[in-house]
Amino acid sequence: MIRNPTIHNNTVTITWHGEHAPHFISDRHGWEEQPQPLQQVEPGTWTISFELPANAYLEYAFYDPETRKRYADPLNKRRVYNGVGGYNHFFYMPAAHPTPFIQPMRTGLRGKLSRHSVSAQWVTTSKTRSIWLYHPPVDEAVPLLVVYDGPDYLRRGKLAVIVDNLITAKHIQPLAIAFLQNGRAARTVEYGQAEPTLVFLLRQVLPLAKREMNLIDVEKQPGAYGVMGASMGGLMAIFTTLRLPHIFGRAISQAGAFELWGQETTVMQMVRYCPKPDVHLWLDCGEMDFLIESNRKMAALLTERVYKVTYRENGGAHNFTTWRNACVEALETLFG
């Protein structure tokens, strides 16, 4: 029996059986904005074929543009939560694969997670905000990594499991993590290079992390902490490092939103016009990501301004599976 997809060299074919066929939407085709019709190849069989690089990871769905209803793919049982209330089917091309570091360890030391509630008066209208702390399985003082969109990185990105495995394998130094909850409807405002978000870090997040965990003293080791995020969170991660380099000397941006509504962001202008701080930046982006061109521009600008920057492109798109698989090398580069 045919299973989706069938792959020959770099050509992917998706099949649908039935009297009529829905449209095909995916990372590659702009999702609902560009639904692709399937072609009938014989009675009751419909297909669509397209090219993908050998290292690609693709998420897709079947879709009716008139009713806006999605349909499950009976020929591919592999699904992943898409973060916006539904599920996408997915597959890897032959040269792509999930990172092995997402498998929970059977042996070895594991960090612990604790959940806390702090005042959010400096961020948005909600009174409190949840923060999850990852306590590494060591006693010595460690650096802190602040993660924007923390619950997504924790659950969908498997970041705590990845860090457990990397520490055990001695690929990275032990580190503590603060997973920050975003403001949901206010997320774009909070992560849009917002000064109140920095005040929230300084007045709520860092004091909590210092009370609960044994952290390196950044007054003695300036810039020892890191910050991480994706999309708008990636933009905010770079902004945080540029504004507070004496605390956050390392930043990971995954598919950062460095241009908004066709305009350069303040972060790009800070890199272009302001004195260069002593920081180490990581940028990655999927080749099918709609933000790929703005990431290329940002990477070129950082290189031109002689920043310490590492830039990687991968075969993915704008989703947490892509960021989950790419963050291993980012952590090894900045915290190895």
> How many domains does one find in the chain?
2
What is the model's pLDDT at position 110? 84
User: Does residue 295 belong to any structural domain of this protein?
Assistant: yes
40 and 109 inside one domain: no
Backbone angles phi and psi of 96, in degrees to 5:
-110, 155
pLDDT at 237: 98
My answer on whether 73 and 146 are in the same domain is no
- Using CA atoms, how far apart are residues 173 and 223, in angstroms rounded to an integer? 15
pTM value is 0.94
Residues 162 and 276 in one domain: yes
Residues 115 and 210 in one domain: yes
Phi, psi of 163 (to 5 degrees): -65, -40
* Residues in the chain, total: 336
Is residue 139 a part of any domain in this protein? yes
Residue that wins the pLDDT comparison between 226 and 106: 226
The CATH code of the domain that includes 46 is 2.60.40.10
Final residue of a structural domain among 75, 92, 109:
92
Residues 285 and 259 in one domain: yes
Domain presence at residue 42:
yes
Are residues 88 and 116 located together in one domain of the fold? no
pLDDT of residue 150: 96
What are the tokens at 223? 């810039």
Rounded-to-integer distance, Cα 279 and Cα 224, Å: 10
The pLDDT tens digits for 58-103 are 999 999 999 999 999 999 999 999 887 889 999 999 999 999 999 8
What is the tens place of the pLDDT at every residue in 201-231? Answer: 999 999 999 999 999 999 999 999 999 999 9
Note whether residue 1 is domain-resident: no
**Does residue 305 share a domain with residue 223?**
yes
Q: Which residues pair with 329 in a beta bridge?
A: none
pLDDT grade for 185, boundaries at 50, 70 and 90: confident
- Residues 246-296 have pLDDT tens digits of 999 999 999 999 999 889 999 999 999 999 999 999 999 999 999 999 999
- Alpha-carbon gap, residue 195 to 95, rounded angstroms: 42
Count other C-beta atoms under 10 Å from residue 245's C-beta: 17
Domain boundary at 74, 92, 110, which? Answer: 92
Q: For residue 165, what pLDDT is reported?
A: 94
Query: In whole angstroms, how far apart are CA 42 and each of 13, 39, 300, 311?
Result: 15, 9, 49, 46
pLDDT in tens, 107-134: 666 899 999 999 988 777 778 999 999 9
163 and 310 share one domain? yes
Per-residue confidence (pLDDT) for residue 108, from 0 to 100: 60
- Residue 68 gets the label, from left (phi > 0), alpha (psi -120 to 50) or beta, of left
Segment 41-52 mean pLDDT: 96
Which residues constitute the domain of residue 168?
100-335
122 and 66 inside one domain:
no
Average pLDDT, the chain: 94
Whether residues 41 and 119 fall in one domain: no
- 190 contacts 183 by C-beta, under 8 angstroms: yes
Check residue 28 and report its DSSP letter.
T
Domain-terminating residue out of 69, 92, 115: 92
pLDDT at position 197 is 94
pLDDT score for 109:
64
Same domain, 140 and 246: yes
CATH code, 257: 3.40.50.1820
On whether residue 281 sits in a domain, the answer given is yes
Regarding whether 42 and 189 lie in a shared domain, the answer is no
